Structure 1
Amino acid sequence: MSGEAWQSDLAQSYGRFCERRGTLGDCLTLFDDGPDLQANDKRSIALALAVGPALEGVDAEVRAMLNPTRVLTTLSFTITAYMALLLAPEPVTKGAALAFSVLMWGYLGWEFFTLLRAYAQLYEDAQRASTFAELREVGERFGRVIGPNSVRILVMVATAAIGETAALMSKGPKLPGFGQASRTVEANTGLRLMDAATGAERVIVSVNEGTIRIVLPVNAVSMTARNGGGERSALKASEAPKGGRLLPNGHRAFKSFRAFKRYMGKAGEGKDWHHIVEKRNAKRFGPEAINNTENVVALDKDLHDRISAFYSSIRDGITRSSSLTVRQWLSTQSYEAQREFGLRAIENIRDGVWG
């Protein structure tokens, strides 16, 4: 490695980071493609700073999967590659990348989309950083947003994903907590987590809407909209009980909310069914556009109550009207606009942005 690579303050700080980890020189192999630290190299440093501490806390069974040499390098590269695939607009269709996305969703539920949004922010912030301290802040911010447990799960699944698809398939069920993650997915979607990971033809992730669609053979589609199992999903076509009308996107539509509840059952303990586009629009858009498994989701009762109160209030800073409630203003918008606003309301009220 040429001395030219270590001329900048950022490179020298990176070298000291590697030394503290017990590896002299380029511990993340960032200079393999040249002497300068590029945008992707900065992202690798920020991600290494975010996930590095989690390596110390992983279970012995997970540590046994790790190659003791260049562990952080491999993990950083693996996570970066998969995050890029999941954020791409095209469906994920290839082997380990597809299984990785399904397993992450199974483990993290709603936090899966928080992870993707946080990585998208890291992707943008890291390339603008000019010092190691700034990259450390970018990495630490990523860790704070998704939480220590999500960082640990990201490391776990990325560890299992290293290698060929067959290796991931054999390691997946051995991950700590896999049984609970699998039971949660099966209870809420009718799908076995490992069957979905190994049998899916493609996975379509929409970060904006917070949805993941797992397309299985023979036109069997499972979708979860937010909370990764906190809401009931369309079952496999062969397993779904009769009721409603099966839509082309795999969801089921019903003539009334009562029929929806008869088919779906209760929302779950401490949860309420919530219409993203409100029930009051049934006459305008038709009952099946309102009472379907894509538009009706299960939310924690407290969140559902806060959303209802918000819709009943006047928020001229949001609606630009000092005389209409949010609900009254929203009812004048198109279906697409109401759905987009409804999804944003769930997120912003949950996060305290809209109080």
Structure 2
Amino acid sequence: MDSGIGDRGREEAVFTSLPTDFAPVQVGTSELKEALTTLWLHIPPRVATTRAPLHIGRGLTLASTPWRGELCQSDLAQSYEHFCERRGTLGDCLTLFEDGPRLQADDKRSIALALAVGPALEGVNAEVRAMLDPTRVLATLSFTITAYMALLLAPEPVTKGATAVFSVLMWGYLGWEFFDLLRAYARLYDDAPRASTFAELRDIGEKFGRVIGPNSVRVLVVVATAAIGQTATLVSKGPNPPGLGQASRTVQLNTGLRLMDAATGAERVIVSVNEGTLRAVLPITAMAMTAPNGGSESSSNAEPAAPNGENHLPRKHRAFKSFDAFKNAMGSAGEGKAWHHIVEQRRINAERFGAEAIHNTENVIAINKLKHDAISAYYSTKSRDTEGMVVREWLRAKSYEEQRTFGLMILRRFGVLP
């Protein structure tokens, strides 16, 4: 590779909005049954602990004299113990009492989620029971899904690493249902800690399952199982999860990208649940991956390139790791003009969203220098727009999309945009 191209590849990336206007992949019960059995044979599930499960009744006897809240906890814990017994495991089958005898908020979320995804696993119990404890499988899946979904719903929902892979795969499988899933889980996340009985947790879990539907539950289980086995290794060397080929073709048709190249190559994924948007920072080489014989050959199961090598990724923008790199590539803003960041180039924004989300050709535009200076001054004032707070301070806790929407509004107010 030419050294100049190599330097450019390290400095430049692609910042893009990922479309969600396509239908989800359909995963049937029989496909799920066959695929999960194969996957679990190749990659035994990991659990959060290797210690023997704590027997709930014994754990509760260690507590002090119960008051009303602890009585509710005791009833809930006993119902949870009966749930574990019905699944063939005595004691703490979901390993929730590792941190003490009381069910915490996250423990209740795990129970509700297990009750939501459990029915999808019933059909494979017979196949795995002789080799693996299906309750441990449920515990591992519940732990994995809870961890990933909590990261996606965090106050600063920017994903990196394995969570980015999980996010992109869920997007590729679910399309427009991806945000239905996130919103449904947000309700479960809020409701489960307030539950005081096992029946309430069951109702919350079943409501989650009804809202997203059985197909999305199956997709969630499939992707979580792949995540347990480290997705990139699983897909390149192990059996493919059901529907991966269809998901890859759908993504390629809508974006020109290969799904696994996007999933494993994404540096960051910005998830804005309220706005229903998904943005990704991809390596510049991801664009070449769609050309015939020009992409990654890491997977023997890779999908063919887009027809005629066409790359139709919508709303893709050149992105850079610094403002200096942006200016070196784009040059001067022009006589009497200045480069203006719609989402401001504050350090906190670069840390939250990544430098490429700030220094890219969507977010940085050339505007009249006097108007740029006036807008910058406005951002340092207190405003009725921002509840009397300094504009920059008010914006600092907002999502990327909220900051961008506000920035565009201000550009219109100052006459920069029509």
Tell me the TM-score range normalised by the shorter chain: 0.5 to 0.7
Question: 1:199 is matched by which residue type in structure 2?
Answer: G
Deviation at 1:63, TM superposition (A): 10
Distance 1:249 1:167, change over 3 A: closer
Question: 1:80 is matched by which residue type in structure 2?
Answer: T
**Structure 2: distance between partners of 1:171 and 1:209:** 37
Which residue number in structure 2 is paired with residue 5 of structure 1?
A: 60
Deviation at 1:5, TM superposition (A): 2.4
Is 1:34 paired with 2:100? yes
**Structure 2: distance between partners of 1:191 and 1:108:** 16
For each residue in 1:290-342, what CA deviation from the matched residue of structure 2 results, as whole angstroms up to 9, or x when unmatched? xxx9xxxxxxxxxxxxxxxxxxxxxxxxxxxxxxxxxxxxxxxxx959x99xx
**Structure 2: distance between partners of 1:172 and 1:185:** 21
The correspondence of residues 139-218 of structure 1 with structure 2, limited to 5 A, is: 139-170=205-236, 174-218=240-284
**Structure 1: distance between partners of 2:317 and 2:311:** 13
For each residue in 1:171-221, what CA deviation from the matched residue of structure 2 results, as whole angstroms up to 9, or x when unmatched? 786111111111111000111111111111111111112111121113969
For each residue in 1:31-89, what CA deviation from the matched residue of structure 2 results, as whole angstroms up to 9, or x when unmatched? 11001011011001000000000112469999999775611110000000110112222
The correspondence of residues 236-315 of structure 1 with structure 2, limited to 5 A, is: 240=311
Q: Secondary structure at the match of 1:120?
A: helix
Is 1:24 paired with 2:90? yes
Q: Determine which structure has greater relative contact order: mean sequence separation of CA pairs < 8 Å that are 6+ residues apart, divided by chain length.
A: 2
Which residue number in structure 1 is paired with residue 202 of structure 2?
A: 136
Unpaired segments of 5 or more residues in structure 1?
A: 222-234, 251-292, 294-334, 341-355
**Structure 2: distance between partners of 1:111 and 1:120:** 14
Is 1:127 paired with 2:193? yes
Distance 1:241 1:142, change over 3 A: closer
The correspondence of residues 100-115 of structure 1 with structure 2, limited to 5 A, is: 100-115=166-181
Is 1:86 paired with 2:160? no
Q: Is the 8 A contact 2:128 2:134 kept in 1?
A: no
Unpaired segments of 5 or more residues in structure 2?
A: 1-53, 62-70, 288-305, 321-361, 363-403, 410-418
**Structure 2: distance between partners of 1:216 and 1:173:** 26
Which residue number in structure 1 is paired with residue 118 of structure 2?
A: 52
Q: Is the 8 A contact 1:47 1:76 kept in 2?
A: yes
Q: Is the 8 A contact 2:148 2:163 kept in 1?
A: yes
Q: Secondary structure at the match of 1:130?
A: coil
**Structure 1: distance between partners of 2:266 and 2:163:** 11
For each residue in 1:118-163, what CA deviation from the matched residue of structure 2 results, as whole angstroms up to 9, or x when unmatched? 1111000000000000000100010011000000110111111103
**Structure 2: distance between partners of 1:90 and 1:28:** 27
Question: 1:151 is matched by which residue type in structure 2?
Answer: V
Q: Secondary structure at the match of 1:216?
A: strand
Question: 1:91 is matched by which residue type in structure 2?
Answer: V
**Structure 2: distance between partners of 1:40 and 1:195:** 33
Q: Secondary structure at the match of 2:97?
A: coil
Question: 1:129 is matched by which residue type in structure 2?
Answer: A
Q: Is the 8 A contact 1:61 1:175 kept in 2?
A: no
RMSD: 3.6
For each residue in 1:77-106, what CA deviation from the matched residue of structure 2 results, as whole angstroms up to 9, or x when unmatched? 000011011222242111x22111111111
Distance 1:133 1:171, change over 3 A: farther
The size of the alignment, in residue pairs, is 239
* Identity within the alignment, %: 74
Question: 2:195 is matched by which residue type in structure 1?
Answer: A
Distance 1:66 1:154, change over 3 A: farther
Distance 1:59 1:86, change over 3 A: farther
Q: Is the 8 A contact 2:89 2:135 kept in 1?
A: no
Larger radius of gyration between Structure 1 and Structure 2: 2
**Structure 1: distance between partners of 2:317 and 2:82:** 57
Q: Secondary structure at the match of 1:174?
A: coil
Which residue number in structure 2 is paired with residue 298 of structure 1?
A: none
Deviation at 1:22, TM superposition (A): 0.7
Question: 1:190 is matched by which residue type in structure 2?
Answer: G
Q: Is the 8 A contact 2:262 2:286 kept in 1?
A: no
